[in-house]
Amino acid sequence: MPTGPGEILKWDSRFFKKTIGRLNSREIDQAAFRAICSWARQNAMDCLYFLSRKKQLPFAPQQSEFFFYYLGRRVLLEKNPGAGTASHRSPGPFTIRPVQPSDIDSLEKISRQAFRETRFFKDPHLPEKKCQQLYGTWIKKSCRGMAERVLVAWGPQLPVGFITCHLLGPGEGQIGLLAVSETHRGRGIGGALLSESFDYFKNNGVKRLKVVTQADNQSGLNLYLKMGFKKKNLAYWYHIWREI
């Protein structure tokens, strides 16, 4: 059980070479903010990830060295992968299959470029190169066991897209990353990857499949809605930076 107002994220801190934490609560008022500031000072924190229930903060943060950067709306969507039929266009000559070790370099290249809509790329404190490296590392780790299954869209010579599948608690699954290379978008490959993942999740007893994306990511959001996902929750990402 979390005790303080947040937790220090060891992996993110090491990766970005900043002390980074995540706040536990989705609502903070002036009193809670004072407690957060003192916890963050004690731990020499540089940045706190804060997923807020509301876009508008209920107070104006004052007299502190901590500044709130609003980085966009996060939408959570859900679907039963075994229910209904999700129709999508044929991906033409591209086939979907589980990842092979020889795919990983190509997937890393796709991943480094694909996720520019995310809060990391939008945060002016985080260098673009590090954000690219973050998503490159994420897909590599997914292929090496962090995800239960990675499916790849395979073109005539090279992988052109991927989806990572995670099995959570009983009956629950989550899509981690989904991307198609920029030059191959709009040909039904994203839909085919999702459709194939539904079979994987269904065969593994998943009844509640979750995915998170940015509400402003029209291509991602349209694709999920078209494939039968329903919006479940909207929240607002802030990064709180200590600027001294």
Which residues of the chain form contacts with ligand COA (CB under 6 A)? 88-89, 114-115, 178-180, 185-191, 213, 217-220, 222-223, 226
155 or 220: CB nearest ligand COA = 220
5 or 91: CB nearest ligand COA = 91
Minimum gap (Å) between residue 164 Cβ and ligand COA: 10
Which burial class, exposed, middle or buried, applies to 1 when counting CB atoms under 10 A from its CB (0-12, 13-18, 19+)?
A: exposed
Q: Is 204 helix (H, G, I), strand (E, B) or coil?
A: coil
Going by C-alpha positions, the residue among 145, 152, 163 that lies closest to residue 213 is 163
Question: Pairing mode, if any, of strands 208-214 and 172-180?
Answer: parallel
User: Any idea what the Cα angle at residue 144 is, between residues 225 and 120, rounded to 5°?
Assistant: 55
Minimum gap (Å) between residue 185 Cβ and ligand COA: 3
Q: Is 69 helix (H, G, I), strand (E, B) or coil?
A: strand
The token pair that represents 77 in the structure block: 């969507």
112 or 242: CB nearest ligand COA = 112
222 or 233: CB nearest ligand COA = 222
Minimum gap (Å) between residue 195 Cβ and ligand COA: 9
Minimum gap (Å) between residue 25 Cβ and ligand COA: 25
Going by C-alpha positions, the residue among 10, 216, 182, 175 that lies closest to residue 112 is 182
C-alpha 94/C-alpha 190 separation (Å) is: 11
65 or 216: CB nearest ligand COA = 216
Minimum gap (Å) between residue 163 Cβ and ligand COA: 8
